[in-house]
Structure 1
């Protein structure tokens, strides 16, 4: 069956270990120490201070415990381990950052490899280096249940270093001025001799004991057979057994406050490791040489703070339950009571403080009882083998679940909110590992006459949320307050819906804490530690985790400023306080913001309404002393009655005794039969269970093999698909690269072609303009030639008509003059030849005229197009002028409003001056200066307004006068031509044609 249940064990846990060995190239700083600090997995670990030398020797390890899934998650996220080095001065606790280096968590394995790491962001000139390594270590196998695995400096100490050694004061310590040189103090040295230099005083104190110790006495053996009678308590610490004074009766236990003092020479880090090693400390109840019961005092949190010095005394105090050595029920006279208040307990306290080297410590040793040494043969070496929940982790300590250990001091640092939230989460999951102890509310070690009974009531009433969310939020509040010794968190369940800007009432928000303390210390501790209330959003998924919405900080010490109200019986007083706390978003706030004096307004997401009530029920020990006296009287009377009965008759010879003895024998026989039947039934059930388990295990194995084969097939398909996707991704990447290159080349070529086309177009346009000018000149010349040719053609036609008339006259006179005929024929032939030449020239002139007319029509069409562009430009100019006029009117309206404001201000100031003069008060200089300024502003604004009002009229008159001039038409033509050329987009203002037109326009404007 054991092998069958082996598959249900949790997955193994590993240790991530960062080993710091040594350093080099550090500067020599005698007054400083080096401390290495690392943050990982939301936890901070630091080493013990080392001397700041050129080659410091750390030789320490920092370890964190993780499971396999958590480690895999860190590796997927590429988490690095950042180790920061600080230089700490010996006289002040201020840390000075030296540098840092990082360790890659992905490279860590079970092989221990070390190398030199150079410090980054180092303040020293030389490059200091640290010889360090990171590796994995298993945390499986059989581990000693009493072993406490240490982290940081404690991991580098051996068992021999943590073994206390006894030295005399005259050997290793110097006597102070006020000390007695003849006194022989026994000093205990813990740790290496080179480090053990600070003196400490450890005070051990046995306090009150509950009155039900009789339930721990076994009945199977007669205690009168022991060699030495008497009850006493014993504790092993510093290699010494310390015992209390003996008391005879377990019913009447009156232990005076016995203190035992030990002088120790060590350091805070070594003492922290020592108390972690010896935890838990057994406090045993003896009768003679027989150990009857024990109480276990967990001391691994005694020095939980990481400080290297003790600013004040540290106290571990509480009531611890006594557990019987023989837990079987038939060996104890009565069963252990189930009620927490009736369980047998003992009050035990440890106090550690640092002694000053120059100021002698005044300690009263006259009333100290001498320690009673018990030999090893008398006291068995028992180390709490049955204690559950001994820690195997290196990076955290067990949460205090229902235990009234109090670790307090004046300068005790409050744990960060993240660590507190982590401990609360562990306590919710049922991580209640630790020693079972009775819960007794004690807060301090004040004197008996000053301890009073208090009841502090905290009620969370309602919650209001300011932010908006897409889904409906179901929230609940949760808090825990360590000073009240409450390990379990207080939650307002069930969750309630939280709409926006609406106040909802929190259910079950009332909780009362009862405890005993002195009023000054209660005021000091509550004022120093505020109550942090966390608001969680309930996850809708069954396996999902709740998310933190925000935190609110409540000052419980504010109740002491409220008035005190006495009850009707005049025995108790009450103080009430109601307030509203701001809910701060967890996404924008850190622990430093919560602990600060204020929170920025943009981080507030809600309000929490609460009320506080403190009730004082008077002195704590009055009722208890009365009950104790009453019990003593009853016990004395019962003892007197028993003595009288013993004198009358012998109990063993009575019939009642024999009947009781027979009943006891019958009970034992029946109990043995019942035990045998139970064992037989248990064997049958275990056999059936094993058979059924094997059957189901075979089925599970078959299903598992089938699933594994299917998963393997799917994994092969997935790998092939991933390979294809990787190939396609490479091809796509190459195609995208080629496409980007082609696009870039195409864009470059297009840009070059565009530039070339623009330049070519500009050159062609310029050539065409030159040709147009030449064509205009040529057309003008052709016009002149056509006119000349027309005139010549007309002359030739007239001459031809005259010639024809002469020919007609000559033919009519043929008969008269025959001689003149030949001459006329010759003249006619010459005339015909000239006529042919003139007809040819006339045809050529007509062709030239037709060409000139065609060119003239082309020029006319270009002129019409330019005139259209100029019209569009004029419309655009008109639109711009309208916008300018509209803007001017708006600015004028604003100026008039300012003027009206200044006028009203001026009138108000004049009224004030008049009232001041009427009251007989002298006018102040600032009022006069303000009046003068208002007058100046009023005048300047009025002048600007008048000038603007007069400006449009004057400009209109000038435009009318200029429009009447004769040069306006030429100016308009030039401006039209210039604007039309610029509107085409071909010409630029620096072209020669535009420059020439500008010069002509300027000349015309200067003439006007």
Structure 2
């Protein structure tokens, strides 16, 4: 198992930054990478001239698959898009193709790649990209863990390939409180799907002039169906300024990522209707198919969401002839659809069919989301829910899934949390439940002296890291004054190395709360905001590295800028930017990094005395429907008296006059105390002034000694500096010489390359000219050959005609007979010459045969004499060995055998001689007959001389002598 894991690799593509891009204010940049059918994308960044992505994208594969991809030359394609955050449309800018064969396992320096098919023709846009192969350490570590094996991807993909998307339905499990999507054996993960209706604008345009509304005050509400559960929000009466509390409806789902993705694609869209009674005034459709993409692993680390302002369309648009309006003028509803794994939730989940009465009253607390992304021209405001499960003193922050849009000059998607921590005193309760309200609802009373504040914190970047190893950075902080003790963290972790600056993702957080300016100022001066720097390790425990202290009171001393709020009221804003040091957790004096941040305080003015009802639709929604508990609508009296004549106004006037008198008394007492303190301080100052003079004299003597030491140290430093300067000058000289030599060598190399190229070009040109000349010669010769063939055919035809004409003449016939006889004569002469040659050949062969026969005879005689001697020796030995009586008999026998052998040898010799003589006679006779037949007219003397010559030849061989018959 470990060896298989060791073969798992990661292809990591680091998209660092870009350059030479044009600046586009209302656009964002995003890079999508596609490899082997799987697509990954970076987070959207600002469309500036030098965008910083700082993102790593990785694909898993084994070495065998990597080898196969390299053989097939599978590319990695990076496409750069310009994203419109309002309409979510993407504009293709260009692309880059990376070669997988050049990727190595050792880290390489990132390269700048120009964008191909660049839309910005006047700009040479480039991206800095690094590609490296890494061992999948997660797979190696997981190889040692004994855990339940999930279903294999092959089985899940086989199941999905054979499964009809329309047949996947959500089945409610009432006992465990979840909806199951897909087969039970593959459903191992739990998800939470939440829908939040946060705000609505321009709803009056949806009511046609022909529609009759109820005579009493009409109530409007939003309706949608979530996995078969009918959900409506709290009714409201004002269409021009709809005022309703954002509500969240959540369902628990048991499924897998792949099956859920297929199910969401099949469901296609979520329809939300604006209703008045049983009539729909308008609706909008939110596509759910983009919530989960195929192969999307983002949901394992963080929630995925679809959020924004969606245009409401009347049910019969053609009849009403509603004109097309821009987004800021059209009727819209702000909706957030969030899907996340249940393990990522920050609070215990309350299912749809859970009990509607919690054990303890709810509190309105902060649970912001850390994110900083320039997307919309509105600002999201989150109103989360909070449940106290253990005791009334414990607070547990829930995940902020309810978001509202709030118009502002800025262009940041700022997820904010409302809170109301301020009461008359710290010990007084924040809010109490009313007996007229249901147990699940809770009211928060805000005093009239409080101001509505919005405080935002943006942790921008970290640089100057002084730690000896790269860290996975997470920043964490909490400020209970804002209404929650729950920690707020940046997510996901970002890697920081030495000498680099890293911008933090999702680090913007805004807080809405009500308190008095005096209490705000006192708290900001007393309590700094402590930001903790944590190193998140995948294997070991998280490590606290350092702490940064943000003094929030700095923002109070800055100049206030005025702006108009959503309802036209006058508001004030103060903004403060700073870079502070992050000190080590163990040694507070050691600086380990620098943190850049920006804080903003917005004052929206006085808050009127009202009660805020906190509701969470997830606590009062049944398995099949949702119940609603409307706010009691107070009835105003029919006759209202003058404001200055009311008892409340008179009591407030008396209270203000008493406050002014008390302030004057307090100021007089304060001045008396100040004079007494100033006199005591003057006496103490004189006493301590003498002590300081003595201390100064002592310090002056010490400083004189230190100054002398410093002078000596300065002289030594001056000497070392001169030495260092001479060494640097020598180094510069050597560097210049090496640079000059390098340039000279490079110039020579370039000259040689240029000459080689010119020579090669000249050779190529010569070869091309030779080829052209040869082709011309070839054509010319082919033409000549064609003409010669035609001429030959003509001459052959003429010669054939001439032969036919001459064949009938007698001279020609005689000439042909003469030619035939001449041929016969030549043939006979050739045969005669061949016979003569044969005679000489046979004569030579006969002489060689005679010599060979003589040798054989001599060898046979020698062998016979050797055998005879050997036999005689053997007989001699036998004669010595045997008795005298047998000696005589054996001697006779041996003599008889010897006699037989001698006779046999003589007989063989005679036969051989007769055979040779016979052969010689036959040969001689044959030759004589042939010569005689051929040369009958020759002279007899020639014949006799030939016979004499042959006799002498036979005698010279040594086989015959003069006594032989021949």
Name the TM-score, length of structure 2 as normaliser. Answer: 0.29
Compare CA radii of gyration and give the structure with the larger one.
2
Name the TM-score, length of structure 1 as normaliser. Answer: 0.28
User: Whose RCO is larger (CA < 8 A, sep 6+)?
Assistant: 2
Q: Which has the higher helix share?
A: 1
